[in-house]
Chain A
Amino acid sequence: MKLTPLFAGVLTLALVGTASAQTLTIATVNNGDMIRMQGLSSAFTEETGIELNWVVLEENTLRQNVTTDIATNGGQYDIMTIGTYEAPIWAKQGWLKPLDGLTADAEYDVDDLLPPIRDGLSVDGKLYAAPFYGESSFIMYRTDLMEKAGLTMPEAPTWEFIGEAARAMTDRNNDINGVCLRGKAGWGENTAFLTTMSNSFGARWFNENWQPQFDSPEWKETIETYLSLMADAGPSGASSNGFNENLTLFQQGKCGMWIDATVAASFVTNPEESTVADKVGFALAPDTGKGKRANWLWSWALAIPASSQNADAAEQFIGWATDKDYLETVAAEEGWANVPPGTRTSLYENPNYQEAAPFAQMTLDSINAADPTNPTVDPVPYVGVQFVAIPEFAGIGTNVGQLFSAALAGQMSADDALAQAQDAVTRDMTRAGYIK
């Protein structure tokens, strides 16, 4: 048969090239800082001889792939990029190797990590994932448009002021929207934002007995404020806007204000990417005077799955990518404003950084203001600011996000969305055994 040799050839080719020297497979998310790390990592290979095999994926695909892999013990990756949500849950399951080598390394200086960030990645005092960058959320606004509207942004505004300013800054004829907020469904997208917003309105996901609270007046006020703000001053197509979409809009000068991750500050002030780089001001996330602000706490961190055969080399790489020298390397190549922020105290004490990053102090204040163990006005049985640190939250949060996204798209009313969210969450929490 004539085809057989050809086929055998193809298979042989497929088999060759899988074997090589020590190689680390790294799964990471396609964010700017990670892509920069990928670009700089050839220095690590030259230094150590360890080859790196990068898997850069869009956030949702990354989560799905690494979760399936680690939960089934698939062993495809040596290093995974995970967040503050996954780290403690996975560590408790025994899926991650503790980073004892780094913790013991004086040069790595684990005590230099910002306490809220480090705590979020530790279980029982052991560090399970090393933060690559950390973030909270705050307000980025256009100083020129604020001035034009005849207003002054206070350092710590209220939602009432945000509403007033957003409506005043909106100029539909010139395609300027007063405020850009997340609307794209997903527990890490609109649900994260709306959860922090609800915290500032005094709402909570669950009461002490794990009963969902979407039927509370606080949630109703949150969603109604959000919807009317977006209707009056938000961009068109907001229900499909996530972090990246809003970043693009802000960089193009189409948003008066944007309440989102503090890491965005370096992107919107970078003149190479942003058309409004020199006209951006920063303020703390808004509140309603109830004692909680609408800011979250998140970090993307590097962790080693328990199944990795190359744990030592993996820890070596994590050390390289998250130590003080890495920050210096990025600063030398790209300038201080572009180093991955939010992980180390020393960075915020560095005068070079303070000078290059006008948002540094505001970022640090926002991170320190977030309290994952005590996130809401009323007491709650869970940990986590913009998420609930239980394994089921990824599913529940996405479901709720879909409903709020539908409300934003005008496909259902705020009341319907909240009622359906209450039902859906009750159903899932009952199934998971939280509600007896």
Chain B
Amino acid sequence: MATRQTRTLARTMMAPAVIVLLIWMAVPLAMTIWFSFQNYSLINPMMTGFAGWGNYEYVIGDPSFTQALVNTLLLVGGVLLITVIGGTFLALLLDQPIWGQGVLRILVISPFFVMPPVAALIWKNGFMHPGYGMLGHLFKALGLEPVDWFAQYPLFSVIVIVAWQWLPFATLILLTALQSLSEEQREAAEMDGANAVNRFRYIILPHMARAITIVILIQTIFLLGIFAEIRVTTGGGPGYASTNIAFLVFRTGILSNDIGAGSAGGVVAVIIANIVAIFLMRAVGKNLDA
């Protein structure tokens, strides 16, 4: 079927998408790499000229760099763990015959429609605030001292908020996969006398492996750059406790107006993202018979 003509056509049809994405990636990236070797501060015109590796040394030497790297991985890993396990559990639950399934599904997917700054604001003020947040009231009602979430468990609090936003997405994908498991397969398993745990382990889980892969892949793409939630709630602190790489780049590049160092941080972040991407593709890519 793949005649020469079709192939030419196919290339032509691919071209617009490839070209715009190439420009979108290459131009800003090239400019970022260029800036990363320059002394360039937005607010200090005296800083000019070629910087060599100075900007990179400065960013990697940042006292929070290692912690930011670890936080990035913890944030991605933590949210993935919660959403995949929680999503599987929710998908299994919603797949049961229950009353009000339609409404239930709407309730469960709703957090996905909430924009990140709003999600962060309502968690911060309505829920986690020790004085008038819902959780504070709850703790007081139980006779406990309200927890100051963002001071005591900053990274964990951010993970909770982000996981809340992404849990619906995982649930939806996993639920769709679960529902495609044919009736015969399930019944066959039941006839064999397999108990619930074994059915889950040997029939359902393998069937969902591919969907889990998709969830991990897509969420990782978004989670590596988590920023709005951190900015609105903790501002990367206290100290550097909730600073991830994206926020570190923001702090150096934008807050300190040091474009040279910020760009170097951006390049480092791109490299890290690519390492994660390669690792991810290796680990889960074989599940995607693209």
Contacts and interface: CB of A to CB of B under 8 A. Distances in A.
Interface stretch (A1-9, A153-161, A303-311, A404-412): A404-412
Given A239-B148, A240-B148, A398-B255, A67 B43 contact: yes
Contacts of B41: 391
Interface string A26-59: 0000000000000000000000000000000000
Contacts of B61: 427
Interface stretch (B24-32, B204-212, B233-241): B233-241
A17 interface: no
A67 B237 contact: no
Contact of B237 (A235, A395, A402, A424): A402
B148 A395 contact: no
Interface in A394-436: 394-396, 398-399, 402-403, 405-406, 408-412, 417, 420, 423-424, 427-428, 431-433
A386 B43 CA distance: 20
Contacts of A432: 44, 47
B257 A71 contact: yes
Nearest to B256: A395
A406 B255 contact: no
Interface in B223-257: 234-241, 251-252, 254-257
A393 B255 CA distance: 10
B235 A186 contact: yes
Contacts of B131: 235-237, 249, 254
Contacts of A89: 43
A399 B258 CA distance: 14
A185 B41 CA distance: 23
Nearest to A95: B43
B63 interface: yes
A392 interface: yes
Contact of B238 (A67, A236, A395, A408): A408
B63 A237 contact: no
Interface in A338-379: none
A184 B58 CA distance: 26
A405 B254 contact: no
A433 B258 CA distance: 14
A93 interface: yes
Interface string B247-287: 00001101111100000000000000000000000000000
B110 interface: no
A72 interface: yes
Nearest to A71: B42
A236 B152 CA distance: 11
A406 B148 CA distance: 13
Contact of A394 (B58, B148, B235, B256): B256
Interface string A224-241: 000000000001110110
Contacts of B236: 402
Residues of A in contact with B, size category: 35 or more
B40 to A, nearest CB: 10
Nearest to B241: A411
A68 interface: yes
Interface string B21-60: 0000000000000000000011111110000000000100
Contact of A71 (B43, B146, B148, B256): B43
Interface in B173-195: none
Nearest to B231: A60
Contacts of B130: 236-237
A18 interface: no
A257 to B, nearest CB: 18
Interface in B100-135: 129-131
Nearest to A396: B256
B93 interface: no
A209 interface: no
Contacts of B152: 409-410
A422 to B, nearest CB: 11
A428 B255 CA distance: 13
A294 to B, nearest CB: 23
Given A68-B42, A93-B45, A236-B148, A402 B257 contact: no
A64 B251 CA distance: 11
A401 to B, nearest CB: 8
B146 to A, nearest CB: 6
Contacts of A402: 235-240
Contacts of A412: 239
B151 interface: yes
Most buried by A among B43, B130, B235: B43
Nearest to B58: A431
B136 to A, nearest CB: 9
B235 A237 contact: no
A175 to B, nearest CB: 9
A412 B154 CA distance: 14
Contacts of A391: 41, 43-44, 257
Nearest to B232: A58
B185 to A, nearest CB: 39
B266 to A, nearest CB: 15
A218 B129 CA distance: 34
A406 B42 contact: no
Given A237-B130, A239-B238, A408-B238, A67 B58 contact: no
Interface in A142-200: 184-186
B150 interface: yes
14 contacts: A71-B43, A93-B43, A236-B148, A237-B148, A239-B237, A395-B256, A396-B256, A398-B255, A398-B256, A406-B239, A412-B239, A423-B63, A424-B63, A431-B58
Interface of B: 41-47, 58, 61, 63, 129-131, 145-146, 148, 150-152, 234-241, 251-252, 254-258
- Leading 9 A-B pairs by shortest Cβ distance: A395-B256, A406-B239, A406-B238, A409-B151, A71-B42, A391-B43, A237-B148, A237-B130, A409-B238
Given A72-B42, A239-B237, A409-B152, 12 more contacts: A67-B257, A68-B42, A68-B254, A185-B237, A240-B150, A391-B43, A394-B257, A402-B235, A410-B152, A411-B151, A423-B63, A433-B47
